[in-house]
């Protein structure tokens, strides 16, 4: 390979490299990279630290919000459980009272027609039929 | 801080040295253009002009880049000047290995210069990519 050919090749390589560098500069400029931006963000680590601090603050806010929601939910569930327990006791007391009444009526008024209990209480309150009486 | 993304503090000495250095590069290119070295006539006049132009224009862009603190001017200038330095180094080695063995130190020092330019080019490309990523991250966050 002659000297001319080698130097021509070098000119082509570095000419192409220069064109690539110019294109890179134009692309960066179009993307919004400015010399002043680069100067401001020269300490890249500081930029990432700022970003991390921002995310950390956001995360702390989210955690606090989540804890408050969780606390409110826990209080709500406790209240609902207490109410449910109260309702259950009341229901069983009512069933027991109805049974006592049915028993009392059967004893005092044998053969009396006792109204059938509502659908939801059929399994819990048994009404004696006329045949059950002597 | 410097507008150029080179991670150095604001130092007058750095800036002055770079501008003086690249002015010498411009002078070298102009010298090649006005008075082509006879010992390198193997490459012909057209390539000698291209070589001189690469040195002069490349050094000029690099000098302006340092003067105005704009790396987007400095980067193409560095690549162009590197081309001129590599051609000069090639011609120096050719001379060293054939007619003038005493030119060896010059040929080796030109390798030092070329490596320094390559390192600076690499730093600028790296900083440019970092800046692009930061812009993309900023845009995606908004």
- Spatial neighbors of B138 by CB under 8 A, at least 6 apart, are none
User: With 70 as the cut, is the pLDDT of residue A114 above it?
Assistant: yes
User: With 80 as the cut, is the pLDDT of residue A27 above it?
Assistant: yes
Between residues A40 and A117, the one the model is more confident about: A117
Predicted confidence at residue A130, as pLDDT, reads 64
Tell me what the mean pLDDT of segment A119-132 comes to.
80
Phi, psi dihedrals of residue B118, rounded to the nearest 5°: -60, -45
Residues B63, B80: Cα–Cα separation, whole Å: 13
The pLDDT tens digits for B99-138 are 888 888 999 999 999 999 999 999 889 888 888 887 888 7
Residues of chain B that touch chain A, judged by Cβ-Cβ distance less than 8 Å: 1-5, 7, 42-44, 47, 50-51, 54, 58, 69-73, 75-76, 78-80, 82-84, 86-87, 90-91, 94, 121, 125, 127-128, 130-132, 134-137, 139, 141
User: With 80 as the cut, is the pLDDT of residue B142 above it?
Assistant: no
Tell me what the mean pLDDT of segment A63-86 comes to.
96
Residue B111 resides in a domain: yes
Tell me what the mean pLDDT of segment A62-78 comes to.
96
Residue B7 resides in a domain: no
Average pLDDT, chain A: 86
The pLDDT tens digits for B11-26 are 788 888 999 999 999 9
Residue B64 resides in a domain: yes
Between residues B10 and A13, the one the model is more confident about: A13
Residue B58 resides in a domain: yes
List of chain B residues whose C-beta atoms are within 8 Å of the C-beta of residue A4: 42-44, 47
Predicted confidence at residue A75, as pLDDT, reads 96
Cβ proximity of B77 and B10 under 8 Å? no
Question: What Å distances lie between residue B87 and A66, A76, A78, A123, B113, CA to CA?
Answer: 66, 81, 84, 104, 12
Residue B1 resides in a domain: no
Structure tokens at A36: 């002043």
What is the three-class DSSP state of B47? helix
Overall domain count for chain B: 1
User: With 80 as the cut, is the pLDDT of residue A127 above it?
Assistant: yes
Q: Which residue has the tokens 């008024």?
A: A109
Query: Residue A7's closest chain B neighbor by CA?
Result: B87
**How many Cβ atoms from other residues are within 10 Å of residue A49's Cβ?**
11
Phi, psi dihedrals of residue A13, rounded to the nearest 5°: -60, -50
Q: A13 — contact with chain B (CB < 8 Å)? A: yes
User: With 60 as the cut, is the pLDDT of residue A89 above it?
Assistant: yes
Residue B66 resides in a domain: yes
List of chain B residues whose C-beta atoms are within 8 Å of the C-beta of residue A39: 1-5, 69
The pLDDT tens digits for B30-86 are 998 998 876 666 777 888 888 899 999 999 999 998 888 888 899 999 999 999 999
Residue B5 resides in a domain: no
List helix spans (H) across B1-142.
12-34, 44-68, 71-97, 104-141
Residues B8, B14: Cα–Cα separation, whole Å: 9
Range of the domain at B79: 12-141
Residue B4 resides in a domain: no
Closest alpha carbon to B64 in B80, B85, B50? B80
Q: A16 — contact with chain B (CB < 8 Å)? A: no
Question: What Å distances lie between residue B101 and B87, B91, B94, CA to CA?
Answer: 18, 13, 10
Q: What does the buried/exposed string (b/e) look like for A83-112 if buried means 16 or more CB atoms within 10 Å of the residue's CB?
A: eeeeeeeeeeeeeeeeeeebeeebeeeeee
Q: A55 — contact with chain B (CB < 8 Å)? A: no
Residues A84, B40: Cα–Cα separation, whole Å: 102
Predicted confidence at residue B120, as pLDDT, reads 92
Residues B77, B60: Cα–Cα separation, whole Å: 7
């Amino acid at each position: 390979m002659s000297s001319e050919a080698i130097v021509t090749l070098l000119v082509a390589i570095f000419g192409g490299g220069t064109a690539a560098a110019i294109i890179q500069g134009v692309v960066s400029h179009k993307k919004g990279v400015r010399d002043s931006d680069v100067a401001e963000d020269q300490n890249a680590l500081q930029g990432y630290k700022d970003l991390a601090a921002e995310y950390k603050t956001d995360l702390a806010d989210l955690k606090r919000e989540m804890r408050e929601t969780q606390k409110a939910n826990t209080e709500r569930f406790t209240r609902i459980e207490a109410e449910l327990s109260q309702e259950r006791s009341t229901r069983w007391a009512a069933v027991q009272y109805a049974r006592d009444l049915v028993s009392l009526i059967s004893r005092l008024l044998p053969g009396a027609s006792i109204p059938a209990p509502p659908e939801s209480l059929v399994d819990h309150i048994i009404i004696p039929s006329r045949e059950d009486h002597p | 801080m410097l507008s150029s993304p080179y991670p150095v503090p604001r130092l007058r000495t750095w800036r002055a040295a770079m501008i003086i250095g690249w002015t010498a590069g411009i002078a070298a290119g102009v010298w090649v253009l006005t008075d082509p070295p006879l010992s390198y006539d193997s490459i012909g006049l057209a390539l000698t002009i291209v070589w001189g132009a690469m040195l002069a224009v490349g050094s000029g862009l690099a000098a302006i880049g340092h003067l105005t603190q704009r790396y987007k001017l400095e980067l193409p200038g560095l690549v162009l000047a590197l081309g001129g330095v590599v051609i000069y180094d090639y011609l120096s080695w050719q001379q060293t290995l054939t007619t003038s063995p005493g030119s060896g130190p010059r040929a080796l020092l030109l390798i030092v210069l070329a490596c320094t330019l390559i390192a600076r080019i690499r730093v600028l490309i790296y900083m440019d990519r970092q800046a692009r990523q930061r812009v993309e991250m900023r845009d995606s966050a908004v």
